[in-house]
Structure 1
């Protein structure tokens, strides 16, 4: 996280930190005509844009001269209140000052240097500064040219919703200006489906690193203010359902970034009006990271997954019947795909499964717990759930089942609740697989609210399962359709930076071809997707939770401090560092050398720290080179 703003993120929500500005009543914020801003005839009945052009608009060529790093100390944010936009809003009965007011409150809350401007001839529109265009729907030709000139100088742009889609008289002129300036293609709008209201940030991007990937950002369904769907080369957030499903075939992205020449661009597809109901924990984090990146302030974060992966895949098999020789072929199939599976067993008649489970464990697969019998834990008193867990562990121990040294728990039929998570955290169990309701994002989290008195060495890791079991979908769709659906969902989870937990029944009813094809959803993504067992996932997240990285001091040459957990790191952890200049190289002055990698777009440097022993380290960071091309 960027440490060069005085107030820490998520801790400065007091009203005293921002100007006391009265928010207008809803009747002054919403036009009477829901189609006042966006013509209905541009879209079909589902909100998809008609006749949308393929691809993404090519970036406008810009100068490549670098910006001096010293400018970081005096750069500022300029929030533009367009006179043309203000007049257009007011003709529709809407107060446009809300857009500026909300930005003003946010920037003041986190002590970003900012000013409100009403003239694009302002001398502050110079290279290194950031111009915020808050739902500036109506722009004149002169305003459009001045905005382009500012970007060409090396100024950064933050734009929201519709930008320059109308002229000063309110006539619709289309998306061409915003699409070419922001390098996006508008594909539709949201708001027609009740569940199409959750913005999900993608993991490990330069502008979302403060927020867990897939965190649900709820938005109001406001007919006149529907967020725009886009295509872009670098999407960083998308519109998903509560259950993290993409909402439409044409694409569900709603936020993007780009860098052309010396200019940086952040685009938010939703208008400021929707901020009124946004969860500030996530929304402020998204704004904070975006403004910091646009200002070119260095920031640091620990990647969610081991290098070089951006997501993870876990193949899980639950016990629907006794394990026997029929389960061995699937165990071999997983290994042939480069995967070790996680198997979960019931204590009921477990001795009958001993031979097969022993063979699976010998192959390298993980054996963990499912329960005492195939019955949901949800809704049962804590004492009853604890008794069942103890019975489960005693039965598997008596049958000499080769339970993993770092076991997990995957409850029968996803039947668990908050009490289950509490009582499992009191057991010698490292992690728990949960359905989507237990975890807000799409990456593992820690269970911290325990009722037990025995302290744990490490917190219980909750691994969210977002994928429906392919076999379980056969009641509604065909096998081939279920396999295709699974493939699309795994691709999307990989794109978002999530963990994809695949679910199979032992002695599955899926055909061998279908089993192989579902695992191919992983193999097609294996260059960016970490194939791991639940135990490996949980151990990584414990280590990652103890790995700390902070920046301090002068933003042009900051000090990087890193804490490596006791016992070191079992996987290659990467610490991402946002670069103040594209394609700059990082030079570290300190007692220990570390390997450095760079993102393809040249915006981020990664420090690989697996080989460092446990302890505290400090380096002086210098940024060398400044191609920015």
Structure 2
């Protein structure tokens, strides 16, 4: 039976972690120990590959008593005599199905995090966490009730035929009427050894807090009520025409605003169509003076080209409000390009995925006063045309799957479409139908909207501390909001069916709206929050469960 490293390694690593953060713990050595333990704690099963029937029954009883369980890697997959026991225990007791591991996918060495979930909110959406490939202890492919992370390659390549769940969580009402929480991390503790300890600690902190039913508060990445954002970026190497006008019309029907990046060299030919696109409400961004990469060109040449493209559009009477949006042809930028864009106060620019480890925008430069200025919008998935070219049969399916996954993860999806693209009308319809099905979760915004939002959001911070009457929630807003969208503070609920009550500490403070989003989270929604600091008292009141328990 090849189970890899010493099975006590996981126990030692957990004990070191708990000691480091001064979390009290006790070793469990038998089924009777589990039965005697109080359910105010969390039962940790660290790569507990071998379990007896009595131990499995004790874990089931623990859950029925309302206890929380954290399991890592394989649990109860073998009997004490070394016989394979399958994965029935993980499915029936831990609420997760095992669909294999990463044995044949050597590039799938990253845990890609979901953002703004009850068990993963400290690390941003799409964050890459490198996991070492340990022989015989490879990460699992899981299908659970709720997702919190996936195992993928650096490029986050998606394959519709390959389950990629790596971390799952759930809470369900047991036959006793009590609620029990469980989290499964599909990788063994040996993977911690060479991973970034700060990332691993952040993941573990979030999980344990949820399992201990400790309320937490964190700022939502996107405007309420959206879970993610999408930028439809039409890059016009060729003059835009009727096809692009039609795309714009369809996108507006869904409530979306796109950004059309146009070349200065063909603006005269494209002008009538560009005017119609502007009338639809879409943003016009810069795509350079001509279809040529900026990278590796002298700084003086790049600076002249940036000035030329702005002059070309201005001469065509295309009025672009500042700060402007920019994308380079063929992702052809370098450090010089980025420095010039910041110096010229561009509002945002598109980048390839190498500039950021997450799937969220980031601030690239600040003003002399320290305020956010230029925002980078990383392109974190291949465009639909690229995907279809790489795999004519499954490419578009995989692209749509990647888009849906990024929506669930809470990331930003930059969907790049070239002008005169090769997608058939049927493929474009399939793509837009898929986007329309996600519009309640996905903010379909222009580059200008997203970058403006990110600058505003960056100036908001939140503190959530225990208080004698509950918890004190303090928000600090650096500058008054000018964005029309609402910002949300997510709060993890200690129990299902919990009511959140806010009480202002100052009579002049307006109490924001509280929305119960799902069984585990409430959203405190702020519309146009003023600059400054505000504090509210937060209390949680339980509502009766359906059976009165």
Shift of 1:580: 1.6
Correspondence list, 1:127-138, <5 A: 127-138=39-50
Give the conservation status (yes or no) of the 8 Å contact 1:255–1:267.
yes
- 2:490 pairs, out of 563, 570, 576, with 576
Question: What is the CA–CA distance in structure 1 between the aligned matches of 2:468 and 2:48, rounded to whole Å?
Answer: 32
**SS of the counterpart of 1:281?**
helix
CA offsets per residue over residues 131-170 of structure 1, 9 Å max, x none? 1110111112222222222222222111101111122222
Question: What is the CA–CA distance in structure 2 between the aligned matches of 1:606 and 1:586, rounded to whole Å?
Answer: 10
Correspondence list, 1:193-272, <5 A: 193-247=105-159, 249-260=161-172, 261-272=178-189
CA offsets per residue over residues 303-347 of structure 1, 9 Å max, x none? 111122111122111121234566433332322333222011222
- Match in the other structure for 1:596: 514
- 2:406 pairs, out of 493, 509, 512, with 493
Question: What is the CA–CA distance in structure 1 between the aligned matches of 2:353 and 2:471, rounded to whole Å?
Answer: 39
CA offsets per residue over residues 114-134 of structure 1, 9 Å max, x none? 333434534872121111110
- 2:471 pairs, out of 543, 558, 573, with 558
CA offsets per residue over residues 582-607 of structure 1, 9 Å max, x none? 2211111214221111133x211111
TM-score using structure 1 length: 0.80
- 2:304 pairs, out of 366, 371, 387, with 387
- Match in the other structure for 2:82: 170
Aligned CA distance change for structure 1 residues 474 and 488 (closer, same or farther; 3 Å): closer
Q: Give the number of aligned pairs.
A: 535
Structure 1: state its 5+ residue gaps. Answer: 1-34, 38-91
Question: What is the CA–CA distance in structure 2 between the aligned matches of 1:280 and 1:501, rounded to whole Å?
Answer: 30
TM-score using structure 2 length: 0.91
Shift of 1:201: 1.1
Shift of 1:618: 0.6
Correspondence list, 1:220-619, <5 A: 220-247=132-159, 249-260=161-172, 261-324=178-241, 327-448=244-365, 457-473=371-387, 475-478=389-392, 481-554=394-467, 557-568=470-481, 569-590=483-504, 591=507, 592-600=510-518, 602-619=519-536
Shift of 1:253: 0.4
- Match in the other structure for 2:175: none
Give the conservation status (yes or no) of the 8 Å contact 2:160–2:401.
no
Question: What is the CA–CA distance in structure 2 between the aligned matches of 1:382 and 1:310, rounded to whole Å?
Answer: 40
**SS of the counterpart of 1:199?**
strand
Shift of 1:174: 1.7
Question: What is the CA–CA distance in structure 1 between the aligned matches of 2:227 and 2:234, rounded to whole Å?
Answer: 24
**SS of the counterpart of 1:443?**
coil
**SS of the counterpart of 1:195?**
coil
**SS of the counterpart of 1:292?**
helix
Question: What is the CA–CA distance in structure 1 between the aligned matches of 2:202 and 2:36, rounded to whole Å?
Answer: 26
Aligned CA distance change for structure 1 residues 468 and 230 (closer, same or farther; 3 Å): same
Structure 2: state its 5+ residue gaps. Answer: 173-177
Question: What is the CA–CA distance in structure 1 between the aligned matches of 2:166 and 2:469, rounded to whole Å?
Answer: 32
CA RMSD between the two structures:
2.4
**SS of the counterpart of 2:32?**
coil
CA offsets per residue over residues 416-438 of structure 1, 9 Å max, x none? 23443333222221111111112
Question: What is the CA–CA distance in structure 2 between the aligned matches of 1:477 and 1:579, rounded to whole Å?
Answer: 44
Correspondence list, 1:53-92, <5 A: none
CA offsets per residue over residues 262-285 of structure 1, 9 Å max, x none? 321111011011111212232211
**SS of the counterpart of 2:103?**
coil
- Match in the other structure for 1:188: 100
Shift of 1:383: 4.3
Give the conservation status (yes or no) of the 8 Å contact 1:486–1:518.
no
Aligned CA distance change for structure 1 residues 255 and 472 (closer, same or farther; 3 Å): closer
Question: What is the CA–CA distance in structure 1 between the aligned matches of 2:290 and 2:531, rounded to whole Å?
Answer: 42
Aligned CA distance change for structure 1 residues 394 and 611 (closer, same or farther; 3 Å): closer
Give the conservation status (yes or no) of the 8 Å contact 1:191–1:222.
no
Aligned CA distance change for structure 1 residues 475 and 157 (closer, same or farther; 3 Å): closer
CA offsets per residue over residues 389-420 of structure 1, 9 Å max, x none? 23322332333322244421111111123443
Give the conservation status (yes or no) of the 8 Å contact 1:237–1:253.
yes
Question: What is the CA–CA distance in structure 2 between the aligned matches of 1:326 and 1:246, rounded to whole Å?
Answer: 28
Shift of 1:559: 0.4
**SS of the counterpart of 1:552?**
strand
Question: What is the CA–CA distance in structure 2 between the aligned matches of 1:187 and 1:193, rounded to whole Å?
Answer: 14
